[in-house]
């Protein structure tokens, strides 16, 4: 019996593309030749006939859900973390015979009136505006948030254990002799409790990655706020923030960087300044995107199981649709991938910059 994976292999496309083509996803943008190749492969392997047979049985219609993504397509393309979450959602929806009928991105502003009507539930990926959370909350309790938890007493959520991962990365650097450890990251926000009708957003850097960094560094007497650099989450921001750190002088012997795309930019800035990683500066990061092991040097990073986060979100939402009323939160562990970007500190921890 042919599977979705067989069709994807035959058509030379991803499983997610096959799923969205066969589910007639209106938000999918692919060439007509690709779409026809998927259909032809499905017919060749008798996959379509199996699907049509299922549809002809006397069964309830598929559950239709909506997905709200905080970032643009371009941002998602740059940051594999969010695209991987979406692929996990799509593949699990296919497995559970669930249709993603509505896709809204944050740049589209608030949802249009009635755009959430007739949906069985909603999955929200990333940090969305408090106004949008309030709008969703006013209509639904069948909502799962991925990568954030705006209201544990109301909503299901799926996150990763960035706190423990940050702790282990810092312990790794300290074990290598590093004391002067910098931090590069983007803003992390948390919503106020859902009982607050205004749903104020709090600038909450002391969460997730930054909190354990500051706590451990302070406990050891190493913390220096002058070594903390916050921008956005892009590769370019990583480059600009590391450039600022280099220009300031007295460069830390190592940096913990809040995402791999930021780390890619930071590595380039160090290279352009004539500094060697890890001999002059050690780097550790988060996510373990596909290119992390191919960088020069390969990146020490906390692997985040983002694909599984997406799958877990669908499972939680389906449980809600089936009648579960008690909110649940799933926290996925991270796995540290030790590679060559982190090394023992040299006797002189502040490298001389080239003239």
Taking only the tens place, the pLDDT of each residue in 137-168 is 676 678 899 988 776 677 889 999 999 999 99
The predicted pLDDT at position 224 comes to: 93
Residue 191's contacts (CB-CB under 8 Å, 6 or more residues apart) are 130, 133, 148, 150, 151, 199, 200, 201, 202
Residue from 78, 73, 146, 150 nearest 308 by CA: 146
CB-based contact 337:301 (threshold 8 Å): yes
Ranges of residues in the chain whose predicted pLDDT is under 50: 49-60, 110, 113-114, 190-206, 348-355
The residue behind tokens 């949802």 is 111
CB-based contact 179:253 (threshold 8 Å): yes
Stated pTM of the model: 0.72
CATH class of domain segment(s) 162-303? alpha beta
Residue spans of the domains in the chain: they are 1-59, 162-303
Residue 292's contacts (CB-CB under 8 Å, 6 or more residues apart) are 260, 263, 285, 298, 299, 301, 337, 339
Strand partners, 67: 103, 123
Residue 177's contacts (CB-CB under 8 Å, 6 or more residues apart) are 344, 345
Residue 291's contacts (CB-CB under 8 Å, 6 or more residues apart) are 260, 264
Token digits of residue 72: 């643009």
CA distance 272 to 252: 17
SS3 content of the chain, % helix, strand, coil (to 5): 40, 20, 40
CATH class of domain segment(s) 1-59? mainly alpha
Which pLDDT tens digit goes with each residue over 17-28?
888 888 777 667
Token digits of residue 191: 């919503």
Angle of CA points 250, 182, 220, to nearest 5°: 100
CA distance 159 to 140: 21
The predicted pLDDT at position 101 comes to: 77
CA distance 243 to 116: 44
For residue 297, say if its preceding peptide bond is cis, omega within 30 degrees of 0: yes
CB-based contact 233:260 (threshold 8 Å): no
Residue from 274, 71, 60 nearest 186 by CA: 71
């Amino acid at each position: 019996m042919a599977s979705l994976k067989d069709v994807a292999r035959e058509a030379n496309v991803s499983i997610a593309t096959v799923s969205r083509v066969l589910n007639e996803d209106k938000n999918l943008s692919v060439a007509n030749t690709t779409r026809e190749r998927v259909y032809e492969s499905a017919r060749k392997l008798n996959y379509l006939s199996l699907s049509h047979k299922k549809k002809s049985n006397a069964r309830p219609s598929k559950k239709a859900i909506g997905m709200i993504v905080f970032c643009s397509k371009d941002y998602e393309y740059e940051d594999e973390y969010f695209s991987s979450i979406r692929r996990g959602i799509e593949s699990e929806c296919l497995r559970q015979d669930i249709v993603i009928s509505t896709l809204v991105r944050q740049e589209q502003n608030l949802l249009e009136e009635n755009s959430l009507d007739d949906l069985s539930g909603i999955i929200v990926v990333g940090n969305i505006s408090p106004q949008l959370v309030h709008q969703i909350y006013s209509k639904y309790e069948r909502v799962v948030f991925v990568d954030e938890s705006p209201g544990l007493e109301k909503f299901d959520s799926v996150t990763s254990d960035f706190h423990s991962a940050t702790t282990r990365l810092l312990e790794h650097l300290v074990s290598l002799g590093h004391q002067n450890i910098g931090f590069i990251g983007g803003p992390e926000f948390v919503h106020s409790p859902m009982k607050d009708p205004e749903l104020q957003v709090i600038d909450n850097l002391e969460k997730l990655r930054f909190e354990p960094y500051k706590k451990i560094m302070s406990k050891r007497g190493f913390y220096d706020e002058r070594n903390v650099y916050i921008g956005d989450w892009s590769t370019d921001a990583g480059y600009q923030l590391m450039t600022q750190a280099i220009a300031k002088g007295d460069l830390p012997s190592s940096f913990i960087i809040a995402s791999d795309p930021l780390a890619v930019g930071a590595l380039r800035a160090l290279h352009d300044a004539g500094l060697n990683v890890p001999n002059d500066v050690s780097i550790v990061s988060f996510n373990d995107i596909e290119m992390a092991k191919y960088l020069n040097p390969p990146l020490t990073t906390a692997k985040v199981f983002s694909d599984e986060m997406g799958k877990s979100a669908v499972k939680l939402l389906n449980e809600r649709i089936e009648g579960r009323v008690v909110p649940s939160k799933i926290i996925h562990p991270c796995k540290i991938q030790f590679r060559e970007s982190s090394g023992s500190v040299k006797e002189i921890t502040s490298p001389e910059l080239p003239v």
